[in-house]
Amino acid sequence: MKIHKEGRRILFFTLLALLAINLLLFQFNRPAVAFNRIFAGASVVAFLILLQFFRSPARRLFTHEDLIIAPADGKVVVIEDVHEPEYFDDMRKQISIFMSPINVHITRNPISGIVRYFKYHPGNYLVAWHPKSSTKNERTTVVVESEVGPFVLFRQIAGAMARRIVWYVNEGDEVSQGEEFGFIKFGSRVDIFVPVDTEVKVQIGEKVKGGQTIIAQLKTSPASLF
C-alpha cells in the first residue's frame, strides 16, 4: 500500500506535531499519567485515520473505449436525466458517486480521449449529497471527447469537510481511462454527465471502485461486444 503524494506533506507535519505535543505532555505533565496515555493513544488513532485517507492502493485497471469506468471509489447516489447548464446546455444523464472520508479519494479518468474543456469553480462547502452541491460547491468541470465520439463531462465536487481540490489535467490534454486526473481532500463527490441514451450499468446505492467498476456504456455504431 502506497501513500498518495497529496498526503505526504500533511502526514509528515501532522506526525511532527503529534510527537511534539506528546513529548511536551510527558515532560511537563508527568503527574497526569492516565491523561498522557489516553492522549497518546488518541494521537495514534487520529494519525492512522489520516493515513488511511491518503492511501493509494494498487489497482488492476479495466479499460474499454465505449465503457464509462467509475472515476472514484464510493456509493452511487444519483442516476437521473437532468439539464446540464455549464457546457452542454441540454439534457444529459447524470451519475453521481459519493465518497465518504473512509474511501480512497483519488479521482480517475472515466474514459480515454481529449480534454475539450476545463474550469475550476471556487464555491461553498455544502454536504456532498446536497442537490445544490453540484453547482454551488467548490468544484472542477472536465469535458472529454471520447475516442468513440460522445463527449463526457465529469466534476470533482468538494464536500463539507473538503477544502481543496487538486487536478492534473488541462484543456487539450490527451487522457487515458483509469489514470489519475486529481484528488479531493476529506469527503467529496464526483458527477458524470453522459448522453441520455447511455446505458447505465449500476444502481442507486451500489458501491463502486475507481478504475474498475463499469458504470455505463456509450451508444456506438457498430455496437460493442459488451
Give the CATH number of the domain where residue 111 resides.
2.70.70
Does the pLDDT at position 127 exceed 80? no
198 and 155 share a domain?
yes
Nearest to 123 by CA among 74, 86, 89: 86
51 and 79 share a domain?
no
212 and 137 share a domain?
yes
160 and 183 share a domain?
yes
Question: What is the reported pLDDT for 29?
Answer: 83
Residues contacting residue 193 through CB under 8 Å, at least 6 positions apart: 82, 84, 88, 92, 93, 94, 152, 153, 154
32 and 144 share a domain?
no
Question: What is the reported pLDDT for 137?
Answer: 78
Distance CA 223, CA 221 (A): 5
| 11-39 pLDDT per residue, tens | 899 999 999 999 998 888 888 888 888 88
224 part of a folded domain = no
Number of domains in the chain: 2
Give the pLDDT band (50/70/90) at residue 184: confident
Does the pLDDT at position 99 exceed 80? yes
What residues are labeled active site? Answer: 188
Cell numbers for 143:
469535458
213 part of a folded domain = yes
Q: Which domain holds residue 186?
A: 67-217
Question: What is the reported pLDDT for 7?
Answer: 75
86 and 161 share a domain?
yes
Between 52 and 76, the higher pLDDT residue: 76
Does the pLDDT at position 105 exceed 60? yes
41 and 91 share a domain?
no
93 part of a folded domain = yes
